[in-house]
Amino acid sequence: MDSIGIVDKQTIDFLIGDLMIPNLPYLSADVPGIGGQIKTVPGDFYVEEIPLYEPGGEGQHLYVTIEKKGIATLTAVNRIASVLKINPRKIGYAGQKDAQAVTRQTISIDGALPEQLRQLNAPGIKIIAAKQHRNKLKLGHLTGNKFVIRVRGVQREAQAQAEVILTRLSQQGVPNYFGEQRFGLRQNSHLLGQALVKGQLDEFFDQFLGHPHPAENPGAQQARAAFDAGNRSEALNLWPSMLRQERTALAKLVKTNDAAAALRAVDNRLKRLFVSAFQSELFNQLLTERLDSLSQLETGDVAYIHQKGASFVIEDAAAEQSRADAFEISPAGPLFGVKYLVARGEAGKRELAALQAAEVSLEDFDSRLL
C-alpha cells in the first residue's frame, strides 16, 4: 500500500509537485501558484535514493552507488553491463529514477569486483562508491527518495505564496500522487500495463510501437507512423537503434507474426514497469476521489504507520483519528495485486469500483504474461 497523505520533513518537498502533475487536482488549487518551470536542465531536478539497508562488506554482489545525468535507470544499467561485458540481468536496482535529472542511486552487480569499476567509462554515469553484499538489490529495497528541485522564472511573490501553501499542506497532508515521470515520455505507460494485465497483446503492441509523440525524435515518430499505417517492415527499417526494446520486439513481430513471441522479447523489467504504471494510475484515481476528505479516516480504511512502514485496517475511525491528526498514520491507497491488503467499507467499495471500471480483477495482476 502507498500512503495517500504523508507529511514529514522530507515529503513537504512535494509542494512543487503541483507543477509536475498539472492534470490532477490538488489541495492548494484555490491559492495562487508560484509560477516558473522545472527541469529546464537535468541539474534542476536532483534525486537521491535513501537505501533500505547498507551493504555488509562481503558477498558475491557488488553494491555500487552511481550518479547519472540525463539518462534513465535502464539505460544506465545497459551501459554498465555493456562496459563490463555482462548480461544486464545480473544488475539489480531498487527503483527507477528520472531520466531528465541528476540522480544518485545504488545498483548491485552479481560477481563484480571494486577494481572493475575504477576505470568504468560509461557516458552519463559516475561511480560514487562500491561495497560488497550477500544478496541482489531488488525493486522496493529502498526507504524513499530525497529531492532537490530548482524552479526557474518564479513569480515575484513566490516566497510568500509558497509559505501559504506549505502551511496548508503541513496541516492537511500532501497528496502522494505518482508524478508524470511514472507514465513515460509518451504518457502511456499505464495503458501498456493495462493491456498486459488484461492479456491484450494487440493493444499492447499498438501502444508500444505505434502512436507517435511530438516529444520523441523525428526518426521515432516516422517509425511509429509507419507501424500505425500497417507497414511493419518499413517501421523496422526506420526504427532508431537507441529504442532497443521496441526495435527487438518489432523485429520478432516482423519475422514470426507471433505477438506472444514478440512480447517475450521485451525485457521483463520493462513489462513490470508498465504494470506498475497501471497500478499507479488506479492509485491516482482513488486519491483524486478522496482528496476532499484526505485528512479524515474512514472505518475500513487501510492506514499506513509512518514510523514502522506497516499497514492495518481501521476498525474504528473515530478512535484512530487523533493519530491521523498527528500524522502518525495516514489513510493509504492500493497498489493492486494478488497480495495487497484489501480495504473494507466505503473505501473497499471505491477500490472495487476502480477495478471494475478498468475491466480487470485482482487475479489478472498474476497473469503469466508478466
Sheet with 2-3, side-by-side order of all strands: 2-3, 329-333, 302-305, 310-313
Distance CA(205)–CA(149), nearest Å, equals: 35
Residue keyed to cell 491488503: 341
All three cell numbers of 180: 508524470
Distance CA(275)–CA(268), nearest Å, equals: 11
Question: How far are the Cα atoms of 89, 176, 352 from residue 358, in angstroms, in the given order?
Answer: 32, 21, 10
Distance CA(220)–CA(197), nearest Å, equals: 26
Q: From the candidates 8, 13, 18, 98, give the one annotated as an active-site residue.
A: 98
What ranges in the chain are assigned the alpha helix state H? 17-20, 73-84, 114-118, 158-172, 189-198, 201-209, 218-228, 232-238, 244-256, 259-264, 268-290, 317-325, 345-357
From the list 68, 59, 78, the residue with the least C-alpha distance to 102 is 68
Amino acid making up residue 11: T
For the chain, the C-alpha Rg in angstroms (whole number) is 22
Distance CA(221)–CA(157), nearest Å, equals: 41
- Respond yes or no: is residue 267 known to be catalytic: no
Amino acid making up residue 308: K
β-pair type (45-51, 102-110) = parallel
From the list 255, 253, 273, 274, the residue with the least C-alpha distance to 264 is 253
All three cell numbers of 52: 533500505
Rounded to the nearest 10°, the torsion over CA 349, 363, 88, 246 is -90
Active site residues: 98
